[in-house]
Amino acid sequence: MNSVALITGAAKRVGRAIALRLARAGYDIAFTYNRSGDEAQSLIDEVAKLGRRGVGISADLTNLPGGTQTIAREFRGAFNRLDTLVNNASIYQAADLSATTLELTRRLWAIHVEAPILLCQEFAGMLKDSSGSIVNMVDLLAQRPWPQYLAYCASKAALGNLTLGLARELAPSVRVNGIAPGVVEWPPGFPEEQKEQYLRRVPLDRAGTPEDVAELVWFLSRPGSYITGQIVPLDGGRSIT
């Protein structure tokens, strides 16, 4: 029986790379998306070309519990097992203290903390049955917060803490780890001067790629079978400078 992965926010960018890497490793893929319907269909087509099954689930993870209830219902209608859950969906939105609103804080908290909690509750039994794993996408900024992304950084720090607590609660049946990327894909329109400033503090002298993240997700999902409760930096050494 094929292994199955569920990846949130996977129609584009890093999530898409994760989905394709796991499909190449023999996983059938369920993934969520919000407004990226065309990209979702093209991902399903790419997964099919790899000989695997792809199922896209349209869900808004800032609308809870409705979003996670939709995911649970549609996933269970398509699959009867789950081996890897990747909590990847994210909102990256700038706001310093003066610009941070309660609405923004709650949206970030919903997608980065509440949705992962609800999905882990929903799928813990299936993951235990498969001796599966959870990978949470944290961020280098959880430990090195930028004031101009105040609420974002705080919500990612909460996801990091949640990762550690889940690792203790779900052991020994389910392994739970996090990845804390630095820059692995520049945001559209990111100023060249700021790119150069960032890279000057990266010992490996380059930005990462979505494929770098995907490879680590694969490792934590299957080969890294004696690793749990870890937040792995994926930042080219930026966290040590």
Q: Could you tell me where the beta strands, DSSP code E, fall in 1-132?
A: 3-7, 27-33, 54-58, 84-87
Instruction: Tell me the C-alpha distance between 114 and 97, whole Å.
Output: 22
Residue 27 known to be catalytic? no
For 15, phi then psi, to 5°, come to -60, -40
Sheet containing 175-181, strands listed edge to edge, beginning at the edge strand earlier in sequence: 54-58, 27-33, 3-7, 84-87, 133-137, 175-181, 231-234
Report residue 46 as tokens: 């790419």
Task: Check 33, 92, 152, 198 and give the catalytic one.
Answer: 152
Q: How far apart are the first and last CA of the chain?
A: 45
Burial (Cβ within 10 Å: 0-12, 13-18, ≥19) of residue 69: middle
Instruction: Tell me the C-alpha distance between 37 and 125, whole Å.
Output: 30
Q: Are 39 and 11 in contact (CB under 8 A)?
A: yes
Catalytic residue numbers, as ranges: 152
